[in-house]
Structure 1
């Protein structure tokens, strides 16, 4: 189960709407969804929460590339929505690195059947741009502290929204 909401900055403050991610297959699709909700190319935030195991904030400003923060990369990697956010760039991987040859059975050359390939592991814990909300009132240190201290991601997202001054509008669509 997941929850996703768009928060668009307007001249009157933040406006929130719940959104479905069923048709979102790529980060570009997610950014397009945010741009459609934008007012005068102001910031749009996408909050995503997955089963109280991780949350993400994606920030889109006009035509700039999306900025991403994920509270727990390893947990997000087990989710189809998390996989959209965990880009090679975010994970520090080179997408053109073709050093590993994989046989048709899914094993690396010379590897026994059933053995796992030697992939780069996804880190446990926060990943991304923890300072993406600093200019909206939530410094990097506070966002990282919320990610680590809250047992439930819903509580962390509520605290993020509170710091941004949009807790009421987020709660209204929850």
Structure 2
């Protein structure tokens, strides 16, 4: 089960909104969703957490490229939304991984076994399976831009040692606990 929320920075602090992941199939979709929540093209921080196993932070500032941090890349890479983030960080091309296209990305992981089995039965596309087999696995531990929240009060060191309720700790440091709890 995933929890996802958007925090949009405003003149008066932060505004939070529950992020519906049903329509998010790529980092571009997530970035577009964050930009739509922005107030005057200010900073938007998207949080995704999978039941305390891993969390991801995506920061979008106006039209700049998103900045991404994942707390445990190896764990995240085994989930639909986490693999979307880790693949971007590792420079993997989405077109090279047809397995992701066939997964049900609704946050429940339903249909994953069937999609993988169907993919493995495809014999006519050996190049993709060879490329995937040779791909470097996601590293165990953090991956990405550990400084993406530094100017907002969360140092790299703080981000790397967060344990337990990661999103709660981040929201507290950002001064957004009340607004985040309102959408939880």
Q: TM-score range by the shorter chain?
A: 0.7 to 0.9
Give how far 1:87 is off. 2.7
Matched, 1:50 2:50: yes
1:164 is matched with 174
Distance of 1:47 and 1:95 partners within structure 2:
22
Give the CA RMSD over aligned residues. 2.3
Distance of 1:158 and 1:16 partners within structure 2:
13
Please say if residues 87 and 94 of structure 2, whose CA atoms lie closer than 8 Å, have aligned partners that are also in contact. Answer: no
Distance of 1:124 and 1:18 partners within structure 2:
29
Q: 1:104 aligns with which of 105, 123, 130?
A: 123
2:154 is matched with 138
TM-score (norm 2): 0.77
Kindly tell me the number of residue pairs found equivalent between the two proteins: 156
User: Any idea what SS the aligned residue of 2:81 has?
Assistant: helix
Please say if residues 7 and 17 of structure 2, whose CA atoms lie closer than 8 Å, have aligned partners that are also in contact. Answer: yes
Which 4+ residue blocks in structure 1 deviate beyond 4 angstroms? 92-97, 105-108
TM-score (norm 1): 0.81
**Structure 1 pair 2/95, CA: closer, same or farther in 2 (3 Å)?**
closer
Please say if residues 107 and 117 of structure 1, whose CA atoms lie closer than 8 Å, have aligned partners that are also in contact. Answer: no
Give how far 1:95 is off. 8.2
Unaligned stretches of 5+ residues in structure 2: 97-121
**Structure 1 pair 46/171, CA: closer, same or farther in 2 (3 Å)?**
same
| Bigger helix fraction | 2
Unaligned stretches of 5+ residues in structure 1: 98-102
Matched, 1:18 2:18: yes
Alignment of 1:71-90 (within 5 A): 71-88=71-88, 90=89
Deviations 1:26-69 (A, max 9, x none): 10110000000000110000010112210011000000111000
